A and B are shown apart, each in its own frame.
Chain A
Amino acid sequence: MNELILVLAIPLATAILLVFVGHRPQAANINIGGSLFTLLAAASLTARVVRDGPMNVLGEHFFVDPLNVFLIALTALVGFTTSVFSRPYMRVEHDHGRLSAGRLRLYHSMFQMFMCTMLVALSTNNIGILWVAMEAATLTTVLLVALYRTPESLEAAWKYFILCGVGIAQALFGTILIYFAAEQVFGHAPGAMLWTQLYAYRAELEPTVLSLAFVFMIVGYGTKTGLVPLHNWLPDAHAEGPTPVSAVLSGLLLNVALYAIIRCKALVDGALETQFAGHLMMGFGLLTVVVPAFYLSRQKDIKRLFGFSSIEHMGIITFAFGMGGGVAAYAGLLHMTVHSLTKSAIFFAVGHAAQMAGTQVIDDIKGLIRRSPTIGWGLMLGTLAILGMPPFGVFTSEFMILTTAIKYHPWATPILLAALGVAFAAMFAKVQGMAFGEPTVKPLAHNPALLPVFLHLGLVLTLGLWIPPYLDGWFRQAARMVG
């Protein structure tokens, strides 16, 4: 039996199990257990790919190649650490009376469903199923964002649902167009929707249809990635949902949506032999780096602040893939990995900080380090990492992206540097105020789970200093494929 089937089946089975377990205390442990088994299955899948190379699973329905193998492993890892973090976090929320027992059942079950949809989206070989999984991911997270049922969270959830629903409808039209182009080559066959087939025959696909399809694809999946000007839902959804949900939205869902865009870009630019898709991505990317940088300093809510920071990083990655070429694409893949790890670590720390202060307002959170050194330093180090300080991995990828920009698109470099500088000034000042100073925060009733924070930051540090050879190999191969 192939490990990939386990990777997809375990979250689904756990989700169903959790519906029946309900709000019993074991639910959080089952959630962790299910995520752990998913992680183990993903690890063994990864080991097999290291040994045997890329493969098709279940006929041609699913596939694992250098571009998605590390994302599957990353998704399983962050899913596991988030479930570890969420146990004490949700217990505190429950004790504070923000959540009823019934909502905890919904939360645990939907969390696993969400993991399942993302893993399906990453591993499916069929562009139609990719769309179905992305839409299902939206639906599960709408319920999670609205979990607290406060007026603000309902507004955020509705905005998220409508904007992403409309956005992703455009992506379905793009998918239909790609299928239409493929049908001219393959005839009316299910194989015409498979990535592997599309890549193999991409030179024969009709260029006009593909370029039009890409426009719909980038608008559609770009809405979910949070590309400006389609980013409106993202800060609200991050701020109003429970923190574990913010962590997986930011750390995983954005990556998955970006993955869809990258696959389309590889297809379209490969077929067109022009830089049409690349240039479009560069434009969106640059806009997405610049605009949120100027919103950062105006934010008063800590989770909104990091939501905007996620938008900015998605912009950096989109820009990197837009530039194309081996180095930029390599840096883009690395940045996806380190951003995901760092941002989820930050959200873990922020979640506990907000619980200690009883508020998410930045000005009311002070002296975290004095009260709880681990949470305070976790937040501070995470912020330094995400702002691109060496020796963390974010620095490595941003450095590679900037040097490529200097070489091929020198005009873009000052814009990027200015945006990164503005973001640094805004975020560092705000987080510094939270970490140091006279404490206004109270200690937590339950021991927070901070192992995930330092595990993630440790990995980001490692990736900044040394990249394991197989990961390096995948990044290189995937970068060559994406172009």
Chain B
Amino acid sequence: MTLPAGLSLSLGSQLINLCAAVMLLLGFAMLAQRRILSLINLFMMQGMTLFASTLIVASTTGQSDLYVSAGMTLAFKVVALPWILHRLIRKLSVKWDIETILNIPTTMLFGIALVVIAFNVAQPISQLSGTIMRATIGIALACILLSFLMMITRSKAVPQAIAFLSMENSLFFAATSATYGMPMVVEIGVLFDLMVGMVVFGVSFFQIRQQFDSLDIRKMERIKEE
């Protein structure tokens, strides 16, 4: 993907708004997706969108740091993490797993309510933002809350982990849209945590399946209050 150097501002901001819309759409798509395999593909597309939006901001503002950030997004979130997830579900033989107990219409309604809340919360910030992406902060917050909702509604370990990772994507999107990205050292640190987190997820999947013969979290509830 190549972009003309010094993308014009109005075109840039329109493209970014497009990316934001795609992010939100993908957030809803993930919320409603029952198949693990499709979920991973959606997660990869989310990474692609994040990569594209970071690249566009980099090109319009000329911040060289953002090119590096975009490169890391491409390497980790579009290539490495989806690849690891694909391998994991093959090894765990849950590739064709379908989440059965999931009330999609209710979840979607909750999701819409969350988007409304997110837009209201983000409004005072958007008005202050001097960046070209001011309108997108609300969308970023909405995506975070949607991943959060997805995490609550899922009962299997792998979709929960994907929700966790997608929350991280939304956070990066928030960082780029509000502030042109965080300082490089912090961004590298967060990505490092993300990769270690992925390893911990992988290890946990195998341990959980060994103990419970299943990756269904509902089967785990053994610790009793009294």
Contacts and interface: CB of A to CB of B under 8 A. Distances in A.
Interface of A: 126, 128-129, 131-132, 135-136, 139, 142-143, 146, 149-152, 154-158, 161-162, 165-166, 169, 172-173, 176-177, 179-180, 183-184, 188, 190, 193, 206, 208-209, 212, 236, 239-240, 295, 298, 300
B171 A177 contact: no
20 contacts: A135-B190, A135-B197, A142-B200, A143-B203, A146-B207, A150-B211, A154-B207, A157-B204, A165-B197, A166-B148, A169-B148, A169-B167, A177-B125, A179-B175, A180-B125, A188-B63, A190-B185, A193-B183, A206-B128, A209-B125
Given A128-B183, A151-B222, A177-B178, A143 B200 contact: yes
Nearest to B151: A166
B178 A193 contact: no
Given A165-B164, A190-B183, A136 B193 contact: yes
Interface of B: 63, 121, 124-125, 128-130, 141, 144, 148, 151, 157, 160, 164, 167-168, 171, 174-175, 178-180, 182-186, 189-190, 192-193, 196-197, 200, 203-204, 207-208, 210-212, 217, 220-223, 225-226
A132 B222 contact: no
Nearest to A211: B124
Give the 9 A-B residue pairs with the shortest CB-CB distance, closest first: A128-B186, A132-B189, A190-B183, A155-B220, A135-B193, A180-B178, A208-B124, A176-B175, A151-B211
Contacts of B148: 166, 169
Contact of A139 (B160, B193, B222): B193
A151, A162, A165, A300 pick with most chain B CB within 10 angstroms:
A165
Contact of A180 (B129, B185, B211, B217): B129
Given A165-B164, A166-B148, A128 B189 contact: yes
Contacts, number: 128
Main secondary structure of the interface of A (DSSP, over half): helix
B204 A169 contact: no
A300 B186 CA distance: 43
Contact of B186 (A149, A158, A180, A193): A193
A139 B195 CA distance: 11
A375 B135 CA distance: 62
A158 B208 contact: yes
B124, B125, B203 pick with most chain A CB within 10 angstroms:
B125
Given A154-B211, A176-B179, A162 B160 contact: yes
A306 to B, nearest CB: 16
A179 B203 contact: no
Given A151-B211, A208-B124, A158 B223 contact: no
B124 A179 contact: no
